[in-house]
Copies of this chain bind each other. A is one copy, B any other.
């Protein structure tokens, strides 16, 4: 029997705000030890209860800038004046240990990851329909009608980027969407192009080819 400890997969879960990426992430990691959510670096100060290395890596602006200069982010963005970034090293460490890493991220960030990390699995989470998306966005916070409209406009623009992904999962029933996401991860591990090393090993160890 050939023993394999293959690398984990970097799984990008993206889609418009309100599509349900967060819920899928939560359920995916809840009862599986071999999959974790990427922890971002941020320059914003920790809120109460937030732990270093669990919720975020809290860095000074200088540290963040230094990492940026060393090209240490898979993606980064500035939101409300604070910097956020996905640290490549932390992700690669998990992958090398055979654990999958989930990255829940907006479309802009996802496109950066796609460019910086060939081999990542790009999944687009879609709301059941735009009406339901609006209900979720309205229900989420006490936003003004203008803000809701802006979010909807933004969501439409994001949905238009769907063809840039590998997979699209319609989140009309959450357990089903989670199941499909699990299937995508399991299937990707069986892809021939991800098993070149295993192929060589199989042929060599068996001394058949």
Contact = CB atoms under 8 A, between A and B. Distances in A.
Nearest to A155: B208
Interface stretch (A60-68, A82-90, A93-101, A179-187): A179-187
A54 interface: no
Contact of A162 (B165, B187, B199): B199
Given A1-B172, A129-B1, A186-B183, A191 B208 contact: no
Interface residues of A, number: 40
Interface string A1-13: 1100000000000
A187 B122 CA distance: 12
Interface string A162-193: 11011111001000000110111011101110
A209 B167 contact: no
A156 B192 CA distance: 17
B186 A168 contact: no
